[in-house]
Amino acid sequence: QVQLVESGGDLVQPGGSLRLSCVASGSIFRINAMGWYRQPPGKQRELVAVIPTQGSTNYADSVKGRFTISRDNAKNTVYLQMNSLKPEDTAVYYCNALVSTVTGSTARYWGQGTQVTVSS
């Protein structure tokens, strides 16, 4: 019913930049908050950034000043601009969205994940 498709993950050198994209499609009535999570190798999944429909954005302390989350509601898309990348940013990055469907249900949906590797 709802699918999130991510793109943009890659191998990049320290100090480089990447932009991740996530497009939502399906039986969507309204997309509420959207966010990005990541899971480093051998560690638990953690919140990176979240952007609500209204209100302020929120970032993990480890990425503040380097990452920027944004959204294009007309395209049902959320972005994560990542600058000054560090090796510790290496992880699988997941898109998440709180979606109200045309059938009346509301639930969180996840993307398949995209690999970001920062290495020299």
pLDDT at 54: 81
Report the run of H or E that residue 33 belongs to, with start and end. strand 28-39
Match 């699988």 to its residue by tokens: 92
Contact 36, 108 (CB under 8 A): no
- Give dist(CA 23, CA 55) in Å, integer: 21
Exposed/middle/buried for residue 13 (C-beta within 10 Å: 0-12, 13-18, 19+): exposed
pLDDT at 38: 98
DSSP code, position 116: E
**pLDDT by position in tens, the chain (length 120):** 899 999 999 999 999 999 999 999 999 999 999 999 999 999 999 999 999 988 789 999 999 999 999 999 999 999 999 999 999 999 999 999 999 999 999 999 999 999 999 999
Contact 110, 3 (CB under 8 A): no
pLDDT at 40: 97
pLDDT at 49: 98
pLDDT at 55: 78
